Structure 1
């Protein structure tokens, strides 16, 4: 089971149906990947997304989605050792997904599909990044985008 918290920090509030769609897409992704845990989705405007993109990626422009995985261990990070019983009591915090709703609106129009399709795509894309999927190489991109399409099709979000 996936626990999903959605925080809407922007002016273009999504409908209850659109928010439910985000839940549905993320639950489908979690089931497809056989993972459980917690995810926080934050909906922001382009200005906030630009700030985050600059702060975390050094790119001074808004982007559509950012993911911040909590279960990654990179070089130089502090490793905290706990006994297995204590770890079992902690929730599996997968991470945070940040989506720019204005960017999603613009991309939906550009690609000629619904806002719902774009939001679903961005949510699943961000979720897969939390699990370690990437698209730096052609092979990685093919794997990640194929997985995204399978998940989106399973919830009825086709192009």
Structure 2
């Protein structure tokens, strides 16, 4: 498992964010029965930078909390059969790890939303990592049915790690 984390901000979160990323990524892969060692890149940034990226890649002219850039094409969420048919397209040739994709998190939004929702920075940060990991595993929330599935899976991952909403 390779998780590359880059923090381009000066803001202190007050917890070991690299450990949270590692725990949530591993739990998401375990929950979704990923049969491969995987590689994930995580960039922790600010509202200004995520705004630019959101505008460039999604055409949405405002900051967002998290962006996901999946590298895998799925027939259905967490269905790894397509990968097996074309492994050269999905694996890092140097490490033989599945290239899942990139996650970009705005630390400004983590702080705003933790305050807004009344829970800890750690919980909000872990939630955004779980949310983004599910996108990297092929989940989406375009319609209500998909959204409900994703919400349930996010909660399952966080509960398994004892990261709860009421944690201070």
Answer yes or no: same fold by TM over 0.5. Answer: yes
Following superposition, the deviation at residue 84 of structure 1 comes to 6.0
TM-score (norm 1): 0.86
Alignment partner, residue 80 of structure 2: none
Following superposition, the deviation at residue 140 of structure 1 comes to 0.2
Aligned residues: 151
Alignment partner, residue 16 of structure 2: 17
Mapping of residues 80-91 of structure 1, within 5 Å: 89=93, 90-91=96-97
Q: Are 1:152 and 2:158 an aligned pair?
A: yes
1:11·1:45 contact (CA, 8 Å) conserved in 2?
Answer: no
Partner Cα separation in structure 2 for residue 87 and residue 124 of structure 1:
21
Following superposition, the deviation at residue 19 of structure 1 comes to 2.1
Mapping of residues 124-135 of structure 1, within 5 Å: 124-135=130-141
Alignment partner, residue 50 of structure 1: 51
2:90·2:99 contact (CA, 8 Å) conserved in 1?
Answer: no
Alignment partner, residue 115 of structure 2: 109
Secondary structure at 2:119's aligned position in 1? Answer: coil
Alignment partner, residue 106 of structure 2: 100
Partner Cα separation in structure 2 for residue 141 and residue 85 of structure 1:
31
Mapping of residues 132-147 of structure 1, within 5 Å: 132-147=138-153
Following superposition, the deviation at residue 22 of structure 1 comes to 1.7
Following superposition, the deviation at residue 15 of structure 1 comes to 5.0
Question: Unaligned regions of 5+ residues in structure 1, if any?
Answer: 74-81
Alignment partner, residue 78 of structure 2: none
Following superposition, the deviation at residue 5 of structure 1 comes to 1.0
Distance 1:91 1:60, change over 3 A: same
Query: Considering only aligned residues, what root-mean-square deviation do their CA atoms show, in Å?
Result: 2.4
Secondary structure at 1:134's aligned position in 2? Answer: coil
Secondary structure at 1:94's aligned position in 2? Answer: strand
